[in-house]
């Protein structure tokens, strides 16, 4: 395809992305260097890098950063381990039961995240099922404290993220080379050995893919924290996103919030570098 034809095909998309992604991004960087609140939204006041310095010196920003990190460290490995294990088990059952299990497993993935969180919260309301279970087992009252709220957020995070890894792995396992498995069986390999030496290497590229997507998703987790903490600062469970949101909407410091958003972008870019290199190689190939 010639360059001109390509341009004609891609232009609507390029225009939209220019208008609504590139320009806003430049604006975000520019707004980050201004003192803006809702009162002077039409006439921002230039303050240079002061917003950025203020963000970097803000202890709450770093606390949010640490909690976002904790969320990623807990949720991403858990979703990969649980997702892989269940995918292996799912591969063992008959086609008919697979369909039923799969429909159920997909539920957390398709339910609106806000609604899913709300449903989770219902379990811990004063009459909720899990609160009752908790109180029966531990014989103490369930209270919303910093620790329980954080644990709840992480628990919900695993619930929310696992189906994606599960289905992806399941699809990957369907493409396993049969001859290899058969050869291994003839050689007397145990199930565990087959998983270790055939399945895991086979799904390696999938693991990288899941890792990439879920790290990005975990990095910008917002909805569930928003609902579970009710934006109440006493739980100290802010993530980068909720803290930025709060700075923009509650404290109404738009400029500072934008500076914060720009700074979080730097973190994302580091995760992406390997993928960018691969894209370059793939797209430049003659076809």
Partner 1 sequence: MDKIKNPIGRALIHAALVLFSIYSIVPFYWTFLQSFKSFKDANSRTPKFFFTPTWENYQELWLRSVPENGALIAYIILMAVVILICLLLFAKYIPVRDGFIYAFVAVGFVALLWGIPKLVETAKFYDYFINTIIVTVGTVVVSITIGSLAAYGLARYAGLLGVILLVAALGFRALPRLAFILPYFWMGSAINLLDTHLLVILTMVAVNQPFTIWMLRSFFMEIPADLEEAAMIDGASRLTAFRKVIIPIMWPGIISTALFSLLLAYNEFLLVRVLTQTTWTLPVAISRYTGGEDPAHLTIAAAAAVSATIPIILVILFFQKNLVKGLASGAVKG
User: Residue 45 or residue 122: which is nearer to partner 1 going by CB?
Assistant: 122
State in angstroms the smallest separation of the CB of 251 from partner 1.
13
User: Residue 70 or residue 111: which is nearer to partner 1 going by CB?
Assistant: 111
State in angstroms the smallest separation of the CB of 66 from partner 1.
17
From 3, 235, 199, select the one nearest 89 (Cα to Cα).
199
- Take residue 139 and report the two structure tokens written for it: 């014989």
Report the distance separating Cα 51 and Cα 63, nearest Å.
18
- Take residue 83 and report the two structure tokens written for it: 């997702």
Neighbouring C-beta atoms of residue 164, cutoff 10 Å: 18
Report the distance separating Cα 233 and Cα 246, nearest Å.
10
Separation of CA 193 from chain center: 32
The answer to whether the CB of 51 falls within 8 A of the CB of 259 is yes
State in angstroms the smallest separation of the CB of 88 from partner 1.
8
State in angstroms the smallest separation of the CB of 62 from partner 1.
17
């Amino acid at each position: 395809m010639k360059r001109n034809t390509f341009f004609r095909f891609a232009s609507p998309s390029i225009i939209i992305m220019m208008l609504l992604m590139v320009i806003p991004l430049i604006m975000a960087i520019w707004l980050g260097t201004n003192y803006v609140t809702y009162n002077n939204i039409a006439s921002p006041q230039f303050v240079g890098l002061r917003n950025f310095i203020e963000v970097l010196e803000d202890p709450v920003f770093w606390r949010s950063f640490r909690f976002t990190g904790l969320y990623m460290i807990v949720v991403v490995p858990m979703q990969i381990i649980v997702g892989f294990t269940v995918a292996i088990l799912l591969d063992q059952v008959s086609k008919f039961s697979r369909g039923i299990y799969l429909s159920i497993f997909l539920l957390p993935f398709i339910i609106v995240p806000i609604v899913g969180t709300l449903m989770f919260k219902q379990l811990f309301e004063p009459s909720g099922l899990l609160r009752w279970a908790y109180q029966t087992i531990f014989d103490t009252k369930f209270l919303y404290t910093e620790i329980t709220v954080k644990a709840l957020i992480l628990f919900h995070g695993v619930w929310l993220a696992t189906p994606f890894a599960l289905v992806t792995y399941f699809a990957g396992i369907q493409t396993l080379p049969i001859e290899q498995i058969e050869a291994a069986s003839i050689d007397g390999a145990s199930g565990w050995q087959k998983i270790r030496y055939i399945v895991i290497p086979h799904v390696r590229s999938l693991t990288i893919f899941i890792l990439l997507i879920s790290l990005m998703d975990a990095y910008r987790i917002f909805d569930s924290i928003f609902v579970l903490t009710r934006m109440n600062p006493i739980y100290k469970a802010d993530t980068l996103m909720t803290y930025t949101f709060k700075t923009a909407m509650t404290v109404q410091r738009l400029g500072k919030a934008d500076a914060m958003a720009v700074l979080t972008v730097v973190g994302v870019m580091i995760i992406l570098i390997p993928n960018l290199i691969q894209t370059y190689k793939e797209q430049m190939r003659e076809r």
